[in-house]
Amino acid sequence: MQRIGFIAFPDFQVMTFAAVSVFEIANVTGNAPLYDLHFLSEHGGSVRTSLGLTMDTEPFGDAPFDTLIAGGGLEPVESTPGLIEYVRAAPTIARRVAAICTGAFVLAEAGLLDGRRATTHWGFARQLQAQFPKVRVEEDRIFIIDGPIWTSAGMTAGIDLALAMVEKDHGAALARSVARKLVVYHRRAGGQSQFSALLELEPKSDRIQVALDYAKRNLHTALSVEQLAEAAHLSPRQFSRAFRSETGQSPAKAVEHLRVEAARLMMESSRHPIDVVASETGFADRERMRRAFLRAFGQPPQAIRRNAQIEGVPLLTT
């Protein structure tokens, strides 16, 4: 049985510990108990969550764990020296160390993310990068595995991370069964974009919003910077500078995200051939769409469709 330790601290956000349910259901679904779950904190005893609920915890110690997972808060919080000391030593007592959401800040402060790829909630990714420049932050990923260190995006992305752990430990069939019992998608690939980031671009000016709306309505066309700039009533140079300043992305990157999301929805919900999907969503050909899917989801289009069929997503025939 693998010992899983969840590291809590005052005002941690309850949703980040939704991953616990993955291991709980894996125990129920497996032929035998697979995971031994422990909740840890610096001093043990009751720890208050951001909702005001309390949770009983065990104090930090030298006991070995297979996996240690740090939860996150509604925003990054200042870590105590005891917490940082325990996390810094975590690789010596655990096979893998993980963080959910802003828990990545704890791992980064302890030095575990230096030189490694990592992600966190999209709303705090740039802060993580600025505060810890040695970390290779990838702000648009659901979760990232870099050696023994795992990090995930915010909130429900912890479920994806935990499902990936179950799959790695005990196979895809069990992970898929757990996902079905939890009524969640099995499973968003670690390389998949945090689409919340795209939905929450929230440009400051109406002009950039108009350009985004124009792009969404015209994905089937080439959508050059010049076209988007014209929709925004700006010169191409002004538009590119304003777009990146307001959204944090280049126009080309944002358009690619829009295209792959639209293509993913078509792959999951229709029987259209890949060539048709590529054409309808503005990719020049299926190979370019395949490369874009690999960048965004870590999977080719065929795998996305196959997973949707396994999960029972209804296909449209028209």
Q: Who has greater pLDDT, 137 or 270? A: 137
Higher-confidence residue of 160 and 196: namely 160
* Burial annotation 15-51 (CB, 10 A radius, 16+ → b, else e): bbbbbbbbbbbbeebeeeebbeeebbbbeeeebebee
**Residue 311 predicted with pLDDT over 50:** no
Residue range 228-241: mean pLDDT, rounded: 94
Please report the domains of the chain, with CATH numbers, ordered by start residue: 2-182 (3.40.50.880), 195-310 (1.10.10.60)
The model's pTM: 0.66
In the predicted model, is pLDDT for residue 95 greater than 90? Answer: yes
Q: How far apart are CA 258 and CA 236, in angstroms?
A: 20
pLDDT reported for residue 187: 52
Per cent of the chain over pLDDT 90 is 56
Strand segments (E) across the chain: 2-7, 35-41, 45-48, 54-59, 65-70, 94-100, 117-118, 136-137, 143-146, 149-152
Which pLDDT score is estimated for 123?
A: 87
Binned at pLDDT 50, 70 and 90, residue 41 comes out as very high
Statement: residue 140 has pLDDT above 80: no
Higher local confidence (pLDDT), 208 or 34 = 34
Distance CA 293, CA 276 (A): 15
CA gap 22, 282 in Å, rounded: 38
| Strand pairing class (65-70; 94-100) | parallel
Phi, psi of 158 (to 5 degrees): -60, -30
Residue 294 CB burial class (10 angstroms; 0-12, 13-18, ≥19): middle
Instruction: Write out the two tokens for 176.
Output: 């898929």
pLDDT tens digits along 243-278:
988 887 899 988 988 898 889 888 877 888 999 999
Is pLDDT at 80 greater than 50 in this prediction?
yes
pLDDT at 192: 52
Q: Looking at residues 76-80, what average pLDDT do you find?
A: 90
pLDDT for 197:
39
Q: How far apart are the C-alpha atoms of 241 and 91, rounded to whole Å?
A: 43
| CA 283 remoteness from chain centre | 25
Burial class of residue 92 (count of CB atoms within 10 Å of its CB; 0-12, 13-18, 19+): exposed
Q: CA-CA-CA-CA torsion for 243, 247, 250, 252, nearest 10 degrees?
A: -90
pLDDT digits (tens, 9 = 90+) for 107-132: 999 999 999 999 999 889 989 999 99
The whole-number pLDDT of residue 209 equals 85
**Both structure tokens of 139:** 């702000």
**Mean per-residue pLDDT over the chain, rounded:** 87
pLDDT in tens, 4-35: 999 999 988 888 888 999 999 999 998 789 99
